[in-house]
Chain A
Amino acid sequence: MNNNKQQLVLDIRGQICPSCLLIALKEVTINADKLNNKEMSILILSDDRHATATIPDAVHSMGFSTTISKTDDGYEILINKK
């Protein structure tokens, strides 16, 4: 585990489809190199249930892994290199 790993937090609580997935895909694409080099992870805060299915669906096919956890204020989706 790289302790200097940068974490990008995307707070998209309140947003509905398809903005959740569009925003996530945009940030993942922009930061693909850093994610691939394991210099960065992306943490998405969302309260849209649909996003917890669509975001993992889409980023898995790009070679990234996702971890989903429920919080008091919705869901956290953590995106990392597989």
Chain B
Amino acid sequence: MNSQQKTVVIGVSAGGMEALTVIVKSLPKDFAPAMIIVQHQKEDSDNFLVHYLNERSKIPVVEAEDKQKIGAGRIYIAPPGYHLLVEGDEQFSLSIDAKVSFARPSIDVLFESAADVYAENLIGIILTGANSDGARGLKKIKDAGGTVIVQDPETAHTKAMPLAALALTKADYILPLEKIGPLLYNISGGTKDSKGIT
């Protein structure tokens, strides 16, 4: 793997389906990073979100599975009712440990484990939401040398979560949704085709 290759983690709650649709739609087919998403959902939700986004995306959108190898150019969604963690060998693990920040899956749990593994090659993003999950995780990403992006609270469906994140961490970028996809493409280490050549 190219050491420049980035991985993207996204945390989102209330208003998430519309927000994720905007970002996912804007990514080109050759978008290289793996993108891992925690969207707060009811524990007994089905995988509607995965199907919904997959139909609108040029990159495959799948539900993250236990001990699955994390691959480039894919979008992974945390399954409802489970925490999603990144292991050192770039595999996923699931857990049913107690809720963190009142949520399972918790954004903090994903972000903190991903920061350990990817350090400066991680891009963390907090979008719309009505709670403060993800704020601690985003700080950990920043402390580990990663890049942090927060949705401009003024443009968010619900601004509590972006505000909580900004209260704890100085963001590298504060942007409206439609500018996040293009930025990711620019800063995320090129396309799949150029991977390993530079």
Q: Do A and B come from one complex?
A: no
